[in-house]
């Protein structure tokens, strides 16, 4: 395995320095997507994020694309990286090899996820049932800083919200921090953190941020388990009536800025931006929050 030199910094050690700022990307599948991502990385690297993460959808090709992108960023040496991993469809020996390869490359952070259940599960062998199984293996193998997923409105497959919170609390007993699915109201995050606190868990829960920039995006986000509140839909519809698509986009970004400000005021340990490999909206939000010098605006 080729040695990779880069920033081998644990994310859980960054929180002591104040709220973090992080960006999430997905591996490109084509040369055009690679060009777009390269431009986005160049733009967002200038904002000095605390770390960046790279998603993984499962399958050998996706696994290699994720590894290549993570190690390319790691090798560049300017950014702290976090690699996403999923337990669905993996044998224990295979996952051990993946983790050991990341460890050898100097990647200090992994995001342990359950992953989507395949349509034909009998065709995909797996030694893991839940994300917590992957957390345990990562702790066994190396000195990783481990993140897990949190769903403010509850995981779509959860029986109820109480069982969802107990499951998340169990993961956070072992993992070091959580990153939430995107959401749109402050109370979604404060309720989640408060419920975890009642279960004795106080580890950092990073809110996930994704602005709604089109009305068609409302339905897509609801399908992903993040219902857009009626008040925000009304704002977007009013913007559409007043100024069309550009006004909708501006209103969606403005709403995201407001939410970020509320979260930071409420003590959020950082902000995690789902970029979709695009930089414009993220840069606009970042500029409103931090200006050009990276110092938070009141």
Show the 3-state SS of the chain: CCCCCCECCCHHHCHHHCCEEEEEECCCCCHHHHHHHHHHHHHHHCCCCCEEEECCCCCHHHHHHHHHHHHHHHHHCCCEEEEEEECCCCCHHHHHHHHHHHHHCCCCEEEEECCCCCCCHHHCCCCCCCHHHHHHHHHHHCCCEEEEEECCCCCCCCCCHHHHHHHHHHHHHHCCEEEEEECCCHHHHHHHHHHHHHCCCCCCEEEEECCCCCCHHHHHHHHCCCCCCHHHHHHHHHHHHHHHHHHHHHHHHHHHHHHHHHHHHCCCCEEEEECCCCCHHHHHHHHHHHCCCCCCCC
Domain CATH code at residue 152:
3.20.20.220
- pLDDT beyond 60 at 156: yes
Q: Tens of pLDDT along 207-259?
A: 999 999 998 888 888 777 778 899 999 999 999 999 999 999 999 999 999 99
User: In whole numbers, what is the pLDDT of the chain averaged over residues?
Assistant: 90
Asked if the structure places residue 251 within a domain, the reply is yes
Asked if the structure places residue 2 within a domain, the reply is no
Asked if the structure places residue 199 within a domain, the reply is yes
Asked if the structure places residue 213 within a domain, the reply is yes
Asked if the structure places residue 76 within a domain, the reply is yes
The count of structural domains within the chain is 1
User: What's the confidence (pLDDT) of residue 120?
Assistant: 46
Q: Is 284 a catalytic residue?
A: no
Asked if the structure places residue 295 within a domain, the reply is no
pTM across the whole model: 0.93
User: What's the confidence (pLDDT) of residue 225?
Assistant: 72
User: What's the confidence (pLDDT) of residue 294?
Assistant: 66
- pLDDT beyond 60 at 5: no
What is the extent of the structural domain holding 218?
11-290
User: What's the confidence (pLDDT) of residue 142?
Assistant: 81
Q: Tens of pLDDT along 92-133?
A: 888 999 999 999 999 999 999 987 655 545 445 677 878 999
Asked if the structure places residue 256 within a domain, the reply is yes
Q: For residue 189, count CB atoms less than 10 angstroms from its CB and return exposed for 0-12, middle for 13-18, buried for 19 or more.
A: buried
Question: Among 64-78, 110-124, 172-186, 279-293, where is mean pLDDT lowest?
Answer: 110-124
Q: Tens of pLDDT along 23-76?
A: 999 999 899 999 999 999 999 999 999 999 999 977 677 788 999 999 999 998
């Amino acid at each position: 395995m080729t040695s990779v030199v880069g920033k081998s910094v644990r994310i859980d050690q960054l929180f002591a320095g104040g709220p973090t700022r992080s960006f999430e990307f997905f591996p490109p599948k084509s040369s055009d997507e690679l060009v777009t991502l390269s431009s986005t990385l160049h733009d967002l690297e200038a904002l000095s994020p605390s770390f960046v993460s790279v998603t993984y959808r499962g399958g050998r090709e996706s696994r290699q694309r994720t590894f290549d992108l993570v190690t390319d960023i790691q090798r560049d040496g300017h950014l702290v990286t976090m690699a996403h991993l999923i337990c669905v469809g993996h044998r224990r020996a295979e996952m051990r090899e993946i983790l050991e390869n990341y460890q050898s490359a100097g990647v200090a952070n992994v995001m342990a996820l359950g992953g989507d259940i395949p349509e034909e599960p009998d065709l995909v062998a797996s030694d893991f049932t839940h994300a917590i199984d992957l957390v345990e293996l990562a702790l066994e193998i190396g000195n990783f800083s481990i993140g897990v997923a949190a769903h403010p409105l509850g995981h779509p497959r959860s029986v109820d919200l109480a069982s969802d919170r107990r499951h998340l609390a169990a993961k956070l007993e072992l993992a070091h921090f959580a990153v939430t699915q995107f959401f749109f109201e402050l109370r979604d995050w404060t309720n989640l953190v408060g419920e975890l606190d009642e279960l004795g868990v106080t580890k950092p829960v990073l809110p996930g941020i994704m602005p709604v920039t089109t009305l068609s995006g409302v339905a897509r986000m609801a399908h992903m388990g993040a219902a857009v509140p009626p008040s925000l839909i009304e704002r977007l519809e009013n913007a559409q009536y007043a100024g069309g698509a550009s006004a909708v986009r501006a209103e969606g970004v403005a709403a995201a800025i407001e939410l970020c400000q509320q979260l930071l005021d409420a003590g959020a340990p950082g902000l995690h931006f789902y970029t979709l490999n695009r930089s414009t909206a993220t840069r606009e939000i970042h500029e409103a929050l931090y200006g050009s010098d990276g110092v938070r605006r009141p």
